Every structure is written in structure tokens, then in C-alpha cells.
Amino acid sequence: MSSSSPLVSIIINCYNSDQFLKEAIDSIYAQTYSNWEIIFWDNASTDDSAIIAKSYDYRLKYYLANETTPLGEARNLAIQKATGEYIAFLDCDDLYLPSKLEKQIQLMGNADYAMCYGSSLTIDCDGNSVRKTKVKNRSGYLFPDLLKHYEISMVSVMLRRSMLVDSGLFFLSNLQYSPDYNLFMNIAAVRNIAVVPDYVVKYRILTTSLSSKTMHVAPLEVKYTLDEIIEKFPEFINKFPSELKQAYAKVHYYKAVYYLFNKKRYQAALQVKKILFVRYEYFVIFCALLTPLPSTVILKLLRRA
């Protein structure tokens, strides 16, 4: 392995996800960058996921868990099997665009970035385009920017493995909704991050997605991460006051979304009222909640349905 083409370990955590699995794996084999390995962690699936995974060559390394574990723990176990200088992630429903790895390796190799992410295309279950999410940040120290607007798509991320080892950072297994938010914000608090402005992945929205099932814990977990970082770095309170205010406002925003999911419109409005003037968007949401506009329509406008 030459220094100009370091090995990338691509983590695929799989639990009963055979529907789009072949398409996902094929998108790795179609990469313009060729020095990679797949760490396929089968989280005790009972469908045809294992059959599909084992149909590929030696570059896919298959591991079967003894029992199903939370996603954060499963990712940690898979990372322990990785041997690459860099670690990337691909969920079984999503896709890499062909130059994803090449663009990130080129950017990560030019400076000592701990992490890299890029823009994403959102597709539906049939592969049809739903929307485009163009990242706004540029490479550098992005912690205050990510407090104001968290834009990291998990599937677009690449990490420097030595950074995880040296810092002792990992995914928290007790978090259901946002173990990735927790890890990446902890990284952003202390390290520079590279950003690829180009579209590098396709993220598939499914009604059975984990995020829709765990929305009830989202407010608690966002607050947990912010509190954890503030405890580590109390100087951030005075250093990033307005940015932290916007980040903590997300706690009430996620509560409002949860209430809308459960047709509790009044409770949703009360949550948004608490952050009414933090961002213009919250004022608009509050006004929408006071109209006859159906909750399902509001959720679609918020990209939550």
C-alpha cells in the first residue's frame, strides 16, 4: 500500500437489510478509487443479507455478530476489524457516487484533517430523486458553524482511524437516534474538518428508517451531546454563546417534530414558541402551526415525512 493510495475501510452495518444491499455494495465496487476493503458487520440478520454479502470477493470481509446490538455498538465492533488508514461508512439502503472515495482521499491527504464529509442527494425507495442537500461549510474549524447548522450526512463521512485511536473517541451505544451526531460534534470541537462541496452519496429515505422510529429520544440525545461537550470545554459558553443558543434550540424543535408525528399540534406549537425568535425558520413554523395547514404537510415542509 503506497502512501499516495492509503487503504480505506468501509463499514457496512447490516441488520435485515437485503432489499437494497446489492445496489449499495455495487456502488463501492464502482468507485474510481480502488484501494479499499469492506468490513461487513452482520448484526445477526435473519433475511438474505448474508447470502448477498458472501457473493462478493475477498475485498468484502464478512463478520457475523453473536447477537443483535445497538447501532453505535455494532459500528464500534466493526471499526475494530478495520485495518485502513481511513474509515468510511455505508448504510445498506444508500449509495456512493463513483468518485466519493477519490475526492475525499485527495482532500484528506493534503492536510491533517480528522474527518471529511460532503454533499448528498436524497432518493426514495425507487431511486427517484427527492432533493439535493448541498453543504454550506468550507474546510477548517467548523464547530461553531455546525452548532448553528448541522449538515453532516453520516453516509458521506470519512474518518482518520488514527484520530479515533489516539483520542479514544467512539460511537456511544446508549444513544439510539444520534450516535453519529455525538461522535462528529466531539471531533469538531477539537479538530479541523474537510468538506467536499460536490455530491458524493445518495441517501435513501424509507418510512421504516431508524430516525423515524427513534424521534422520541432525539431531544434528549441532542441535549446530552451538547451538555457533554460543554462539560469538557466550559470556555465554549463564553466563546460561542449565540451558536450554542441555536444548537440548544434544536431540543425544542425535535420535541415539536415528535409531537407533530403524534398529532399533538398544540404541544408542538408550545415547543416552537420557546424558540420563536432564535431563527426565522422557527417563526415560520409557529405561524404554520396556527393555520389549518395539516400536520402532515408541515412535516413534509420540515423534511420529516
DSSP 20: T
CA 42 to chain centroid, in Å, comes to 20
Q: Given the C-alpha cell 473517541, which residue does it identify? A: 169
CA 179 to chain centroid, in Å, comes to 9
Q: What are phi and psi of 128, to 5 degrees?
A: -80, 145
| Angle in degrees, 0-180, between the axes of helices 280-289 and 241-261, rounded to the nearest 10 | 20
Cβ–Cβ < 8 Å for 203, 153: yes
Alpha-carbon distance of 201 to 154, in angstroms, equals 10
Alpha-carbon distance of 11 to 92, in angstroms, equals 10
The pLDDT score that the predictor gives to residue 210 is 46
Residue type, 147: L
| Angle in degrees, 0-180, between the axes of helices 179-188 and 71-81, rounded to the nearest 10 | 60
Quick: pLDDT tens for 100-132: 999 999 999 878 899 999 999 999 999 999 999
Quick: pLDDT tens for 195-228: 999 999 999 988 655 455 678 899 999 999 999 9
Count of alpha carbons within 13 angstroms of residue 244, beta-carbon side: 17
Cβ–Cβ < 8 Å for 9, 39: yes
Neighbours of 191 (CB within 10 A): 18
| Local confidence band at 2 (pLDDT 50, 70, 90 cut-offs) | very low
Quick: pLDDT tens for 132-191: 999 999 999 999 999 999 999 999 999 999 999 888 999 999 998 899 999 999 999 999
The pLDDT score that the predictor gives to residue 109 is 86
Handedness of CA 13, 48, 129, 253 (dihedral sign): negative
Cβ–Cβ < 8 Å for 95, 23: yes
Quick: pLDDT tens for 61-94: 999 999 999 999 999 999 999 999 999 999 999 9
Alpha-carbon distance of 201 to 153, in angstroms, equals 9
- Cα separations in angstroms, 160 against 6, 21, 108, 186: 11, 26, 8, 14
What is the pTM (predicted TM-score) of this model? 0.93
In the beta sheet, which residues pair with residue 204?
Answer: 123
Quick: pLDDT tens for 237-273: 999 999 999 999 999 999 999 999 889 999 999 999 9
Q: What are phi and psi of 126, to 5 degrees?
A: -95, 5
| Angle in degrees, 0-180, between the axes of helices 218-232 and 179-188, rounded to the nearest 10 | 20
| Local confidence band at 1 (pLDDT 50, 70, 90 cut-offs) | very low
3-state secondary structure string across 145-170: HHHHCCCCCHHHCEEEHHHHHHHCCC
Domain with CATH 3.90.550.10 in the chain: 8-206
Q: What are phi and psi of 35, to 5 degrees?
A: -90, 85
The pLDDT score that the predictor gives to residue 110 is 79
Mean pLDDT of the chain, nearest integer: 93
Percent of the chain with pLDDT over 70: 96
252: left (phi over 0), alpha (psi -120 to 50) or beta: alpha
C-alpha cell, 17: 437489510
Q: Is the pLDDT of residue 305 over 90?
A: no
The pLDDT score that the predictor gives to residue 112 is 86
Pairing of strands 115-123, 158-160: antiparallel
- CATH code for residues 8-206: 3.90.550.10
